[in-house]
Chain A
Amino acid sequence: MTIIFSMDGKEITAEDGKTLLEVARENGVDIPTICFHEATTANALCRICVVEVEGMRTLQPACIVRAANQMKVQTRSEKVIRARRTILEMLASTMDLSDAPEIQKMMIEYGAKSDRFPGAERRESQVKDDNPMYIRDYSKCLLCWRCVQVCAEDAQYTFAINFSGRGFETQIGTFFDRSIPETSCVLCGQCVAVCPTGALKPKREFLLEQGMSPQEINVLNTGRKKRR
C-alpha cells in the first residue's frame, strides 16, 4: 500500500510503514543523524533528526516516526534548525569532537558555535588502553549507545559493556570498571566498527596517531610469530 503526504511542501508518495528518515533519504531530502545506524535498533535519543509534524505537540524524531497519509512534515523549519543548532552547541561544549568530521560539518551547516556555553563542564576522561585490539577514549564518546547495542542483542550477545552513572555523568562502562580482558568481551570489534567519533579506535590506528611507525608497532606484537 502507498501513502501520500507532504514533506517541505512537496507531495510525496511512499510505501506504507517507512520511517520519515527512510522516505526523506529516498527522495533526496537531507535529515542529519548521529545515533542512527542501519545495523542497530533506532532509539531516537540524539534528537538531531527531529522534524516538525503538523498537529504534534513536540518535534518528532524522523528515525522512528512513520510516514502517514496526509501528514505534513517540515524538515528545515525555524524550530527544527533551532533545536539542531542547540543540540550541536551542547555537544561541542561537552565532548571532544575532533574525530567526528560529520558532526563538525553539521556545526557549520547549522551555524552552531562551539564556544556557545562558556564555563561548561566537559565530559573528560583518561584514554583506557587495556587490551591489544582497541582503545577507549570516553572524552570523545557522545553516548549514541551503538557499542552497547551491538555488544548486546543487536549483534553479538556478549554483554561486556553497559552504562555507569546517570544523566550528564553517564559513561559507557564495564562491570565495576574492570579492564576489557577481565570482561566477557571477545574482541569482535563490532563496537569499534559502529563508533561514530573515534572514542573506540583500533589500537594500531591509535598508535600511528601517537607517532609510532608501523615497524615500531610490529615490534610490540612480539607474542606471536607469523605462520609460514
Chain B
Amino acid sequence: MSEIDLTLLKPAIESYIPLGRSGLLPALHAAQKVYGWLPQEVAAEVAKALHVPLADVHGVIEFYSLFYNEPVARNFIRVCTDPACALKGADGLLSRLCKQYDVEPGGTTRDLSLTIEQSPCLGLCEQAPAVWATDGDQSTVGDGTQEAHRPRSAVYGPIRELTANCGQGTTTLAKYGEYAAYKKALTMTSEEVIAETDKASGLVGRGGAAFPTGIKWGGAAKAQADQKYVVCNADESEPGTFKDRVLLLDDPHRTLEGMCIAAYAIGASKGYLYIRGEYPYIVPVLENALNEARAAGYLGQHFDIEIRVGAGAYICGEETALFESIEGKRGFPRVKPPFPTTSGLFGKPTVINNVETLCNLPLIISKGSVEYRKIGTEVSPGPKLFCVSGDVAKPGLYEVPFGVTLRELLNMAGGVAGEKSLKAVLFGGAAGAFATSAHLDVKLTFEDLRAAGLPLGSGVVMVFDETRDMRDVLNRLGKFFAHESCGKCYPCQMGTQRQMEILERVAKLETLPDDFARLQDVGWTMTEASLCGLGQTAASAVLSAMKLWPELFQVGRFES
C-alpha cells in the first residue's frame, strides 16, 4: 500500500475537523472519494484528525454498506433485487451485467475498473428494475435501458397539493415563490403555529409511525435548553418507497420551508437534513436550494440547515439511529425514553419529521387548518402520497385525498398490468402487510386501514399479479431484514437471520417439519420484544402472509 498518498487527505477532510466526531461520516465520505475506498492508513489519519478512537472509526466503517475497507472500483453498478425490482427482471439484469464484465455479484473486476453489487431498495421502484451506476462522482440511475443523471418523476393523482411543483424538473426559488407560509407563521405566536399543526389540522407523521406532529412539536417547544434542533428524516429506505426522492428532487423548497416553520415553532436555531447515501444526485439540488434560501434571507440568520448524507443503512431511518449517525457513530437505535423531544440529537430537544410531513406544513399554515381539513376525512385529514409499484400499468407517485379506496387507487394506476388479476398488494413496505382482492374496497385512511389490519406505513402499494411466486417475495423480504438489522438487540439480530433461513427453505420448497411454528415464534418474538421499530416490524409482512396463505409454508420434506 505504498502508493497511498496521505497528503491528499488533509485538504479533503479539513472542513470536517472542527466538527469532531460528528464530522466522521462526512470525512469518511470525503476520504473515500479521494482513495476510492478506505485503507487502514487513511482510516487512522481520519481518526487522528477528528480525535476519534481508532476502533470506533473501524466500527463505523464496518456498519455502513457504502463504506469499503477493502479495494473496490471507483465505478460501481448497483442493481436493486428487492421485490418490486425482482418482478421486473432484476435478477436477470444482474447476472447479465456480471457475465458481461466477468465478475461475481459483490465482486470487482480484476483490473479494478468496475464493482457490481446487488443492492437493497434504491428508491426507484416505479422505474424497476432499478440500477444505480456511479462513475467517480457522477451518478446515473435508471432501469438498465433508460438512464439519466437524475431519475424521472412520474407523478399522478386527482389532487396536486404536495406535488404541485413535482414532475417538471427542480423547482427553483424563483419558481417556488417566497416562503409565504413561513412569513405568515412568523406573524403568529409559536403556540398558534403548534396549535395549527396539532389537533386543528390533525397532521400525523408520514414516515410510517403516524405520530401526531403537534404533540412532538409541543413537547420540544416546552423543553428548556440552550440549543434545540430540527431534523428532516430523508433516509427514505423502506422497500417500495420513493416519495421523498420526488419531493426533494423536484420541490426542495417545500421541505426547507417546512423545516423553517418547525424551527420557529420550537425555537431551534440549527437543522439537519439527513438524506440516504443512495440519493447522491439530490444533494447538489438541496445545496443549491439552501443557497437560494440563504440569499433570500430565510436561512442563515436565526436558523440554518446542514445536509448530512447517510452511507447505506436502513436502520438510520429510525429516528434515534439517525441521531447516532449524525453524531458520527454506528447507527444503533437508542432506548426510549428519553424521547427526542427532550433528549434527541446531541442530547438536546429535537423535532424530527419525515420529508412528506414537513411538506404538509406550508400547506397547513398558508391555507389554515380549516381549509386543510377539507381534504381527506375527519380522522385522516389532508393529502397523502402513495408509492405505487409492481404489476400495475402506470407505476408512479400518486397524490390522493385520504379516503379513496384501494380499488380507486389501483384504477388510477391503470389496474393490474397485462390483463392479469390481482394476487396481493404489499402495503406499507417491507415492514408492512399483505392485502388481497378482499381488501379492494378498504378506504385508504388511518382508521379504515387499522380496522382492516393493514399498516399505512410510508405509503407503499406494491402490486403482485396472480402469476407471482409469493414465496420468492417473502424470501427477498427475509434477506432484506437480515441485511439491515443493526445487530443490537437479540430478537432482531438473531431473529432476522433465523427468519431468512426458514424463508429460504420455503422458497426452495424444502420446508422442514415445524418450520411454520418456528417462523411464528421468531416473528412473534421480534414483534413483541425487539428494541426498535425495525425489529418490531421485521416479521410483519411474513406473519400476514402466514395468515393469508398458510399453504405456502407447508410444502417440503416432511418426515412421516
Contact = CB atoms under 8 A, between A and B. Distances in A.
B56 A167 contact: no
A94 interface: yes
B497 A168 contact: yes
A161 interface: yes
Interface stretch (B279-287, B418-426, B520-528): B520-528
B220 interface: no
Contact of B55 (A86, A89, A183): A183
B313 to A, nearest CB: 8
Contact of A160 (B55, B490, B491, B521): B55
A47 B497 contact: no
B379 interface: no
A82 B518 CA distance: 12
Interface in A87-140: 87, 89-91, 93-94, 116-121
B92 interface: no
Given A58-B536, A167-B482, A167-B485, A175 B490 contact: no
Contacts of A170: 487, 493
A59 B55 contact: no
A48 interface: yes
B521 A168 contact: no
A164 B62 contact: yes
A86 B493 contact: no
Nearest to B62: A164
B40 interface: yes
Interface stretch (A38-46, A206-214, A216-224): A38-46
A176 B43 contact: yes
Nearest to B58: A175
B62 A45 contact: no
Interface residues of A, number: 48
Scoring B55, B313, B524, B527 by chain A CB atoms within 10 A of each residue's CB, the highest score goes to B55
Interface string B471-505: 00000000000111111111101111110010001
Interface size, B (range):
35 or more
Contacts of B496: 167-168
Contact of A43 (B335, B483, B536): B335
Contact of A162 (B58, B483, B486, B530): B58
B71 interface: no
Given A47-B531, A175-B44, A175-B54, A93 B489 contact: no
Contact of B529 (A47, A161, A184): A47
Given A119-B501, A168-B485, A162 B55 contact: yes
A169 B486 CA distance: 10
Given A90-B494, A93-B494, A120-B498, 12 more contacts: A44-B489, A45-B490, A58-B536, A82-B521, A90-B490, A117-B518, A119-B505, A121-B497, A162-B59, A168-B496, A175-B43, A184-B53
